[in-house]
Amino acid sequence: MITGRYPSLRLRRNRKFNWIRRLVRENDLSSSDLILPIFLTDGKNKKVNIPSMPGIFRHSVDMIPKIIDKALKSKIPMIAFFPNTELRKKNNFGTEALNENNLVCRALRLAKKKYKNEIGLMTDVALDPYTTHGHDGLFKKNQILNDETIDILIKQSLLQAEFGSDVIAPSDMMDGRIGKIRKALDQKKLYNVQLLSYAVKYASNFYGPFRDAVGSKSTLKGNKKTYQMDYSNSDEAIREVALDIKEGADLIMVKPGMPYLDIIREVKNKFKIPVFAYQVSGEYSLIKKGIQSKIISKNAILESLISFKRAGANAIVTYFANEIEDLLD
């Protein structure tokens, strides 16, 4: 509650110069708050443009050291791998997810061998990059099978952990998968592998460019509204988070980001658990194309990311991660 009144109280006094604005600033952003997503593709020495995401590319696994070296120089603490699986390797069951020579496993093997624990390695657990139908789980008779999907997600999680993933991030939104994955990891004595649950993942219209990047947009049959959340709901988000914390989640993701700042704040206030936000591909592309068209300033990047910190996010997955250092300078 503000005490005092004008003219003895003038709030503008604390805004008059840069030095005082810095001293009284309530939220700051640094590279240490950011997670860099990396899209993977087959081949060697490849850097493939993604038209719907200006400035973002798919990289072959051999290119990863260059990306990680730059991330380390920028003091980015974690990267996240997302594969663009060749169509010939996809099928109705997503079996390529369990191939120890798939893109993610090869990337993990290389990164962990070269960098040890210098940088965190996060991997996505879901079947959509590997299925011909584009869904996160097994698809039968126009339904996503929950429990049968979890059996595969457990194997996928164990495989990723075996090859060096530090943070397993199930984004599939199947009921009960966090508890079962946690139990499986513990049984294998993988006690230190963290679980970042996409507990709050909405059936959003902002995912289109990402689906282009991983190659699932053209194959997706129908929509994901039977397992991802209705964007009209907030109480449901609290229930999802509560369940996943009880099941063993170490960290919670809210996805998308900017349209759901209210959810980030509510989750943070209620559970006092580390909350990550995903500034998704649609958010990125809208801002990036706005900058390129000179509709908005490049400083809108920083403003958008600060909004997550203000809402209570501990970390942000963002495609702008490599651009922040220059803006902060």
Instruction: Render pLDDT for 38-88 as a digit per residue (tens, 0 to 9).
Output: 999 999 999 999 999 999 999 999 999 999 999 999 999 999 999 999 999
Q: Which two tokens stand for residue 153?
A: 């997600």
Residues in Cβ contact with 189 at an 8 Å cutoff, skipping those fewer than 6 apart: none
Instruction: Give the mean pLDDT of the chain.
Output: 96
Q: Round to whole Å and give the CA distance between 183 and 30.
A: 35
At 218 the pLDDT is 85
At 3 the pLDDT is 80
Q: Catalytic pick from 90, 180, 201, 288?
A: 201
Q: Round to whole Å and give the CA distance between 325 and 322.
A: 7
At 211 the pLDDT is 95
- Residue 217 or 181, more confident: 181
What share of the chain in percent tops pLDDT 70?
100
pTM of the model: 0.95
Read off the pLDDT of residues 245-267 as tens digits, 9 standing for 90 and up: 999 999 999 999 999 999 999 99
* CA-based radius of gyration for the chain: 20
Are residues 81 and 128 in contact, defined by beta-carbon separation less than 8 angstroms?
Answer: no
Q: Catalytic pick from 90, 180, 224, 255?
A: 255
Q: Round to whole Å and give the CA distance between 133 and 61.
A: 25
At 329 the pLDDT is 66
What share of the chain in percent tops pLDDT 90?
95
Read off the pLDDT of residues 101-137 as tens digits, 9 standing for 90 and up: 999 999 999 999 999 999 999 999 999 999 999 999 9
113 in active site: no
Read off the pLDDT of residues 279-312 as tens digits, 9 standing for 90 and up: 999 999 999 999 999 999 999 999 999 999 999 9
What is the separation of C-alpha 18 from the centre of its chain, rounded to a whole number of angstroms? Answer: 33
What 3 state SS string does 251-265 have? EEEEECCHHHHHHHH
- Of 146-160, 214-228, 248-262, which range is least confident? 214-228
Q: Round to whole Å and give the CA distance between 273 and 8.
A: 41
All domains in the chain, ordered by first residue: 28-328 (3.20.20.70)
255 in active site: yes
Residue 168 pLDDT class (50, 70, 90 cuts): very high
Q: Round to whole Å and give the CA distance between 263 and 146.
A: 25
What is the rounded average pLDDT of the residues 145-164?
A: 98
Q: Round to whole Å and give the CA distance between 288 and 55.
A: 9
The answer, yes or no, to whether residue 138 has pLDDT greater than 90, is yes
